[in-house]
Structure 1
Amino acid sequence: MPEAIRIHPADDVATMLADVAAGETVTLPGLELTALDAVARGHKIALRPITEGEAIRKFGAPIGHATAAIAPGQHVHSHNLHTGLTGTLDYRFEAGAPPPPEPNGQRGFLGYRRPDGRVGTRNEIWILPTVGCVARTSQRIAEKSAALAEGKVDGVHAFSHQFGCSQLGDDLAGTRHVLASLACHPNAGGVLIVGLGCEENQIDQLLADVPEWRRPFIRTVTSQFAEDETADGIAKVAELIEIAAQAKREMVGLEALVLGVKCGGSDGLSGLTANPLVGRMSDRVAEAGGSVILTEIPEIFGAEHLLMQRALGAEAFDRIGELVNRFKQGFIDIGEPVSENPSPGNVAGGITTLEEKSLGAVQKGGHATVVDVIDYGARISRHGLTLLEAPGNDAVSSTALAAAGATVILFTTGRGTPLGFPVPTVKIASNSALAARKPGWIDFDAGAVLEQGFPATEEAMLDHIRDIASGAETKAEINGEREIAIWKRGVTL
């Protein structure tokens, strides 16, 4: 195995696959050079002389500019590379991508078909509080209802949050839309909505966002008006369990799967292994007629052109540009740079600039056509790749993916995280060292790509996704890691 990889022929740097000391020889296909500095795994080493101010390329695209002259063999990182990102940009549509292919009948999974035609990968009872005041009440109802679910449904889970009151306008509407979308999720065979009574996020207004066909699968409790809200909630969960228990798994095609794709705690290998591997999963699902959802808008800054080239038409193209510029303007309006990323963990793992992080991150979307761009809290309505409005924060964006309809989330990581979300969350390590060190967190080792290549690892990954979608538990599910987080965008009263 080579000690470093040049991702694209035009790249000025290679990514180290192992630590190297100063003075050691670095071997990569078709080239050897002497390391002038110690360079850690995941970090970059210069392949040619680079002058001060010159653009530095990785993934075949600029990731910033040199702040000093760099010689071949030198470490390229924060000390000599700086972002080139500034403010908003003008985008011009030139050509549209072809529409997604017709379903190709790929082998699918055992799922739960719902009345609206969507298919769940779980059959659970979800308890959603309208407001943080009844978050613990919701958890108590779930805990006391767990025994009722055994052998009938896949579990009873409460998703607490701190919002739903002291919010105004679009901020309150965002909370309501996310909760309503979760209430419609195909992984929930039934939903109990627990309210307080006096909160801004009133149950009747939340239910107005829920389609009529879904109402028979929803029950509500208003705590201030109930004699015993816990007993009332348990009784209604029992009703929902009996309704949900009538659903049975059946074989469906891969076109019934909705993948949410996410990265968190990325390192310098994420763009070489885990993210491209997830991109291949996105392509397989999209080619089968399924759906893929990509988000983390601030983490596509500098790489949005790769998505815009694949926009289905001018409308999708324009909406991508508008969404990126809107996020950038939000940073500018509060006096923050648009490039205030990567995180300290990303930097320690070898990622220097937001352009570099973004060029690696967008690979999770594969090469699928971008068919739609949707707002935060909205639900997908088209097959193919949908771009979803949400920030990069792991919990907020993953919750938004679930609310949009993702029935499995593929979560790549180079540093590791235990977090899990309402739907099965598959943790994919970018490097084998993380997979070996954190077997209780990691579901799949994408570091195998470096030894086995993409074709073999791709098939293993797709089989693993089919197993998860058919009921095999993820590590996060085994550990009881199930969270939601709501995007706070306005004042607090």
Structure 2
Amino acid sequence: MSKALLVHPDDSVATLVEPVAAGESVTFAAQVVTALTDVPSGHKVAIRVISAGDPVVKFGFPIGTARTDIAVGAHVHTHNLATALDGTLDYRFTPSVPFVREAVAETATFQGYVRSDGRVGTRNEIWVLPTVGCVARTATRIAALADAAHGGAVDGVHAFTHPFGCSQLGDDLAGTRSILAALACHPNAGGVVIVGLGCESNQIAALLAEIPEARRSAIRTLSTQLAGDEIDEGVALVAELVALAKAERTTVGVDKLVLGVKCGGSDGLSGLTANPLVGRMSEAVVDAGGSVLLTEIPEMFGAERLLMDRAADEVVFDRTVKMVNDFKRYFLDHGEPVSENPSPGNLAGGITTLEEKSLGAVQKAGRAIVSDVIPYGGQVSRAGLTLLEAPGNDAVSCTALAAAGATAILFTTGRGTPLGFPVPTIKIASNSGLAARKPGWIDLDAGAVLEDGFDAVADDLLARLCDIASGAPTAAERNGEREIAIWKRGVTL
């Protein structure tokens, strides 16, 4: 007998926790059906008759339309379920009753670096940022030599390279510049060396103009075409910043966290284990007075109303509507359907439609009120849940989260990935098989909620989050996985 999960009493499908063979029983919510075919773990079986053209329901919401009649016990996937998403929509502001619960994180603390502007870093590092891809390798060499010389005085010296900064125009170039300027302002960076070539479109002067005057004392710049020995000069600039960046960790509450939440390589259990677990962290941080950033706008399609109904006011609602519909037009203007997601890995893991993926993905926000909406390259300025414009791509969206001010990222995955980003990125497996198979990648096993319950594992995750915010390395940090990726949206000259 195989166990399955029923998310909502109105659902017409249940999700398998373990694979089942044809003819075997599937048990869910004290009920039993017989599987008509072999069905993998994370995939769905029908628990009631579904007629062709009827909605298939999971999470209490439609996740698409039945292509054919579906019998009880049938495997429900791409062969008999189709998306119902199509283009932009009109929305009406119908705010839901705010979710109120007793805050559980008010006493949770971590050891952070309190900056002069009141923000708190989880690391005290020196970052080396190239303005253009031409000096990416130069930036890497500077960071490696400086880290070997000065790494013990700070938490590390790291270069974040990219291939852009030249042959870009208009909004595309502006996006590159805004991301780099935002990273240069990050509280995890005690100092930043900006390395330019000299002839690139993304000129150092224009980049500095987007960095507040108060931050520039922690910025050094290097134009390599004008330097004698750019490596020696770059290492010397890092040494200057190391001397200025000395800081001690101080006990602060989780209200000082800016938490980014992200899912990547999801499977059919992501929306049932890992993402709701992260949702509890989002609620805890927001309840304590902190900030949470949610992005991956295409992975809100089909579930956007859940967020719109939690908008703090009609202004935030209107901005959410605009962001969602503008992103849909971005797809349509390029001749692509808005429902192109899920990825091949998602499909193999049991996710069938974008509606299903989105309904699982927005679980990462918990039931927090949406307090703000910011553009790509923007920075968080309010407590509560902020929606950030960025695509679903793991590297691009996590870079946007870091640039927006996230000081830690909770990253859920059902398939696994080694990627790491500028800020501590805590990998959370949706299933115990992945956690056991890839212990070098995974920081916490959310599959444990199936045995231990959400409360116990949420306590473990909160403690782990506070430990990492206090300096304990993530798996990605131990592996030296630190990258950025910038969203390329325009022509290349």
Cα pair 1:100 1:369 within 8 Å, conserved: no
Cα pair 1:279 1:366 within 8 Å, conserved: yes
Q: Distance in 1 between matches of 2:106 and 2:264?
A: 32
Please name the residue that 2:184 is paired with.
Answer: 183
Kindly indicate whether residue 262 of structure 2 is the aligned counterpart of residue 275 of structure 1: no
Cα pair 1:99 1:312 within 8 Å, conserved: no
Kindly indicate whether residue 484 of structure 2 is the aligned counterpart of residue 484 of structure 1: yes
Deviation readout 1:43-79 (Å, 9 max, x if unpaired): 0000001100000000000000000000100000000
Q: Distance in 2 between matches of 1:20 and 1:196?
A: 59
Give the drift of 1:178.
Answer: 0.3
Q: Distance in 2 between matches of 1:127 and 1:351?
A: 39
Q: Distance in 2 between matches of 1:173 and 1:130?
A: 12
Q: 1:294-313 residue pairs with structure 2 within 5 A?
A: 294-313=294-313
Report SS of the residue matched to 2:271.
coil
Structure 2 counterpart of 1:455, one-letter code: D
Cα pair 2:2 2:18 within 8 Å, conserved: no
Give the drift of 1:210.
Answer: 0.8
Q: Distance in 1 between matches of 2:188 and 2:90?
A: 40
Q: 1:222-241 residue pairs with structure 2 within 5 A?
A: 222-241=223-242
Please name the residue that 2:4 is paired with.
Answer: 4
Please name the residue that 1:15 is paired with.
Answer: 15
Please name the residue that 1:87 is paired with.
Answer: 87
Q: Distance in 1 between matches of 2:102 and 2:182?
A: 27
Q: What are the ranges of 5 or more consecutive residues in structure 2 without an aligned counterpart?
A: none
Deviation readout 1:372-430 (Å, 9 max, x if unpaired): 00000010000000000000000000000000000000000000000000000000000
Structure 2 counterpart of 1:207, one-letter code: L
Deviation readout 1:1-30 (Å, 9 max, x if unpaired): 970011000000000000000000111122
Cα pair 2:66 2:81 within 8 Å, conserved: yes
Please name the residue that 2:208 is paired with.
Answer: 207
Q: Distance in 2 between matches of 1:240 and 1:435?
A: 39
Report SS of the residue matched to 2:335.
coil
Cα pair 1:127 1:194 within 8 Å, conserved: yes
Q: Distance in 2 between matches of 1:263 and 1:106?
A: 27
Structure 2 counterpart of 1:161, one-letter code: H
Cα pair 2:2 2:19 within 8 Å, conserved: no
Report SS of the residue matched to 2:42.
coil
TM-score (norm 2): 0.98
Q: Distance in 1 between matches of 2:96 and 2:164?
A: 40
Give the drift of 1:148.
Answer: 2.3
Kindly indicate whether residue 121 of structure 2 is the aligned counterpart of residue 128 of structure 1: no
Please name the residue that 2:331 is paired with.
Answer: 331
Give the drift of 1:149.
Answer: 2.0
Cα pair 1:97 1:313 within 8 Å, conserved: no
Cα pair 1:295 1:389 within 8 Å, conserved: yes
Report SS of the residue matched to 1:328.
helix
Q: Distance in 2 between matches of 1:316 and 1:276?
A: 24
Structure 2 counterpart of 1:450, one-letter code: L
Kindly indicate whether residue 29 of structure 2 is the aligned counterpart of residue 29 of structure 1: yes
Deviation readout 1:255-314 (Å, 9 max, x if unpaired): 000100000000000011000000000000000000000000001100000000110000
Cα pair 2:2 2:24 within 8 Å, conserved: no
Q: Distance in 1 between matches of 2:25 and 2:363?
A: 30
Please name the residue that 2:345 is paired with.
Answer: 345
Distance 1:293 1:141, change over 3 A: same
Q: Distance in 1 between matches of 2:329 and 2:323?
A: 10
Please name the residue that 1:445 is paired with.
Answer: 445
Report SS of the residue matched to 1:409.
strand
Give the drift of 1:336.
Answer: 1.0
Q: Distance in 2 between matches of 1:202 and 1:261?
A: 32
Cα pair 1:19 1:40 within 8 Å, conserved: yes
Kindly indicate whether residue 157 of structure 2 is the aligned counterpart of residue 156 of structure 1: yes
Distance 1:406 1:3, change over 3 A: same
Cα pair 1:391 1:397 within 8 Å, conserved: yes
Q: Distance in 2 between matches of 1:195 and 1:102?
A: 50
Cα pair 1:164 1:199 within 8 Å, conserved: yes
Cα pair 1:126 1:191 within 8 Å, conserved: yes
Give the drift of 1:108.
Answer: 1.3
Report SS of the residue matched to 1:405.
coil
Deviation readout 1:196-242 (Å, 9 max, x if unpaired): 00111111111111111111111010001111111110000001111
Q: Distance in 1 between matches of 2:337 and 2:13?
A: 26
Structure 1 counterpart of 2:372, one-letter code: D
Please tell me the root mean square deviation across aligned C-alpha atoms, in Å: 1.4
Cα pair 1:96 1:313 within 8 Å, conserved: no
Structure 2 counterpart of 1:230, one-letter code: I
Q: Distance in 1 between matches of 2:19 and 2:94?
A: 44
Q: 1:58-457 residue pairs with structure 2 within 5 A?
A: 58-95=58-95, 105-245=106-246, 247-457=247-457
Give the drift of 1:97.
Answer: 6.5
Q: Distance in 2 between matches of 1:99 and 1:458?
A: 19
Report SS of the residue matched to 1:151.
helix
Cα pair 1:140 1:230 within 8 Å, conserved: yes
Structure 1 counterpart of 2:307, one-letter code: L
Cα pair 1:101 1:289 within 8 Å, conserved: no
Q: Distance in 2 between matches of 1:220 and 1:101?
A: 48
Structure 2 counterpart of 1:386, one-letter code: T
Please name the residue that 2:464 is paired with.
Answer: 464
Cα pair 2:17 2:42 within 8 Å, conserved: yes
Cα pair 1:97 1:312 within 8 Å, conserved: no
Cα pair 1:96 1:312 within 8 Å, conserved: no
Q: Report the number of matched residues.
A: 492
Q: What are the ranges of 5 or more consecutive residues in structure 1 without an aligned counterpart?
A: none
Report SS of the residue matched to 2:412.
strand
Structure 2 counterpart of 1:117, one-letter code: G
Cα pair 1:102 1:289 within 8 Å, conserved: no
Q: Distance in 2 between matches of 1:386 and 1:80?
A: 36
Q: Distance in 1 between matches of 2:98 and 2:17?
A: 37
Q: Distance in 1 between matches of 2:490 and 2:244?
A: 38
Larger mean CA deviation between 338-347 and 207-216 belongs to 207-216
Structure 2 counterpart of 1:195, one-letter code: G
Cα pair 1:181 1:379 within 8 Å, conserved: yes
Give the drift of 1:96.
Answer: 7.0
Deviation readout 1:72-130 (Å, 9 max, x if unpaired): 00000000000000010001113376599999733210000111110000000000000
Structure 2 counterpart of 1:168, one-letter code: L
